[in-house]
């Protein structure tokens, strides 16, 4: 997962995994599933979210890369 991903695709995949949102938060929007909340990076034009940041978000959410690829 070295390549980046668009914010829109990130949100689509989290929805496919059962998360709802994004919802407005303090500085960042977030998505949630049950009691689990994940912060979504703010949009910055057409730039992509780096693969390393996506990996960190997945680690915090407890989502395996295999599950992520299947979403």
Rounded CA gap, 47 and 64, in Å?
Answer: 24
Residues 6+ apart with CB under 8 A from 5: 13, 48, 49, 51, 54
Structural domains in the chain plus CATH codes: 7-70 (3.30.920.30)
Q: How crowded is the C-beta side of 15, counted as CA atoms within 13 Å? A: 9
The larger pLDDT score, comparing residue 8 to residue 45, is at 8
pLDDT value at residue 26: 84
Q: Radius of gyration of the chain from Cα atoms?
A: 11
pLDDT value at residue 1: 57
And the tokens for 38?
């994940």
Cβ atoms of 60 and 38 closer than 8 Å: yes
> Each residue of 16-65: pLDDT tens digit?
999 999 999 888 899 999 999 999 988 776 678 888 999 999 999 999 98
């Amino acid at each position: 997962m070295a390549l980046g991903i668009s914010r829109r695709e990130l949100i689509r995949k989290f929805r496919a995994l059962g998360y709802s949102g994004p919802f407005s938060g303090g500085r960042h929007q977030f998505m949630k599933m049950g009691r689990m909340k994940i912060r979504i990076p703010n949009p910055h034009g057409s730039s992509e979210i780096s693969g390393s940041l996506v990996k960190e978000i997945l680690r915090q959410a407890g989502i395996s890369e295999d599950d992520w690829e299947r979403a």
